[in-house]
Amino acid sequence: MSRAFIGMGSNMEDRLEHLKAGIGALAAAAPDVIIVSKSSVYGSAPVGMTDQPDFLNAVVAVETTFDPYELLSLLHEIESERGRKRIAHWGPRTLDLDILMFGDLEQDDPRLTLPHPRLTERCFALAPLLEIDPAAALPDGTPLQSAREKLGDAQGVWRVGDLMTPAADRTETIAVIGAGKVGTAIARALSTKGYRVVAVADLKKDARERAASLAGSRPFESCVEAAARADVVIITTPDGAIEGVCGDISGSNASLVGKKFIHMSGALPLAALETAASRGADTLSIHPIATFADLMSAERFLPGSAFGVTCDLALLPWARDFVSAMGGRTLVVADGDKVLYHSAAVVACNLLAMVSYGAYVIARRLGFRDEETSQAFGPLAAATVENVSALGPASALTGPLARGDIGTIRAHIDVLEKFDPGLAEMYRAVSLWGLRLTEECGELDMGVIEQMKEILNRGQATSTAQR
């Protein structure tokens, strides 16, 4: 029989369940495949296509009578049984199974390269493999531990737990304080992932009862009563209320040792939870980088979103798995950078909506109904956002500013000044800022850029003088 190491990964649906099912399917292939050992579960951020949830990974060592291609065929069958669809390279997957090494075999075959061509570049494969075989080496004798040490901690791989136990401690009870759109979506998301949401608190009766019903929880008017029932207290109130709510809860407890307090504000530092920290609680900020226009959109966009996480380094593995349970990705944010980080989210989301409103104002003047405007300009806006995400802002920039179409820019300002001076001012301000992108592209002569800058600044000066 031959010894082989098989890498496993999942970042869709119930990730741990997919890993367990993969183990079960391999075990069912006995006597042709015998599982010798299996690693712990390790979490990792996605590689290549980063706009997707974090992965859970593991490695199993097997003894097999199969040759490498027979083993590969078995792995592909197991992947298909778990719903694996090979749509995008490095894209999300229910279950990914790779032969990392097969005995001392070395081969360069388009169908199967051994050892795996990126084994020495991936901590999420090396860490679990070295856990079950610390002396593992490549066929040429190079210790894999050397490759692991060269990579260091830059790839951010973390141990989650044993393969046969839940990846997160789902026995922790949770209270959500604030039953608005964010709190309701979070409570429901955690409940569907197996967390025990035992309490939802809000001063508004209808809001707390609806959120509690969706999460299979109990509604409370008192945040103190709700928090008393939970190991993890998540505060999703407006920013201005977070510190006071935390103070009310903390003031009724001499000790909060063993509890976790989380606020979901993008801008507030951990100091907003200081009263809980002073009584021994662990404190974290976990901010969903998602838009919550209504509950339906919140539930739609929450999975797959990034979450800005601020916490003590020792709490980061817990926070990562907590985020992953909601289908999210972790973005670590330093406490002192919270306001700047949140301003980026506001520019990307809220200001985008405000600028888009200008198109609706103009379209109404032209006699278009808002529904017609949405149908006409909505796809344009969506394509632009998609291009920014895929290509970057500089490559996504089109239109008169990118072309250096000075006459069109001047005509826009002239007509907007007559129609709505405020809209003209926004056009100038955003365009002046956008000239940085034009310069970055490097496709226009600097003389043309300076002419556009002069036109935009001249209009701004005129507007200021008129005021």
Q: Where in the sequence numbering do the catalytic residues fall?
A: 84, 93, 96, 98
Angle at CA 209, nearest 5°, toward 205 and 210?
120
| DSSP at 381 | H
CA 89 to mean position of chain CA atoms: 19
Query: 35, 74 in Cβ contact below 8 A?
Result: no
Exposure string over 161-179, b if 16+ CB within 10 A, otherwise e? bebeebbbeeeebbbbbbb
The whole-angstrom separation of Cα 106 and Cα 103 is: 9
For the record, the structure tokens of 10 come out as 């999942």
Q: How far apart are CA 147 and CA 157, in angstroms?
A: 15
> Where do the DSSP E strands lie in 110-195?
158-161, 173-177
Tell me phi and psi for residue 268, to 5 degrees. -75, 145
Longest Cα separation, the chain: 87
Distance CA 39, CA 2 (A): 19
436: enclosing H helix or E strand: helix 421-441
Separation of alpha carbons 153 and 44, rounded Å: 11
Cα–Cα dist 100/114, whole Å: 7
Q: Cα–Cα distance between 76 and 29 in angstroms, integer?
A: 13
Place of tokens 């907003």: 272
DSSP codes, 333-368: --GGGHHHHHHHHHHHTHHHHHHHHHHHHHHHHTT-
Pairing between β-strand 55-64 and β-strand 41-44 as defined by DSSP bridges: antiparallel
- Whole-angstrom CA distances from 175 to 25, 107, 190, 212, 248 are 38, 54, 11, 10, 15
Token pair recorded at residue 199:
């309490």
**CB-CB neighbours of 313 under 10 Å:** 7
How far is C-alpha 289 from the chain's CA centre?
7
